[in-house]
Amino acid sequence: PKHKCGNQKSCPQNYFAFKIISGAANVVGPSICFDNVVLMSSVKNNIGRGLNIALVNGTSGKLLRTETFDMYSG
């Protein structure tokens, strides 16, 4: 069976599924999936080097904001 965000198990009722992939150097970019919706990825062109953050409403699951913080350049 397929589970949300490609996870190996289903989440309990009233819980959100999520998966965060950090990436690998410049070869594979990071991605954030939340409740079977990809919030950030190289395909969406909204990621960058450093910290990639998605702010999600914990009650509704609605995406509020995404941001990238470049920790390399200061």
pLDDT in the model for residue 37: 95
**Residue 29, domain member (yes or no):** yes
What is the structure's pLDDT at 28?
80
3 — pLDDT class (breaks 50, 70, 90): very high
Within-domain flag for 20: yes
pLDDT at 74: 65
**Cβ burial 31-58 (10 Å sphere, 16+ → b, else e):** bbbbbeeebbbeeeebbebeebebebee
Please state the domain count of the chain: 1
74 in a structural domain: no
User: For residue 11, what are the domain limits?
Assistant: 4-69
Residue range 4-51, pLDDT digits in tens: 999 999 999 999 999 999 877 677 889 999 999 999 998 999 998 888
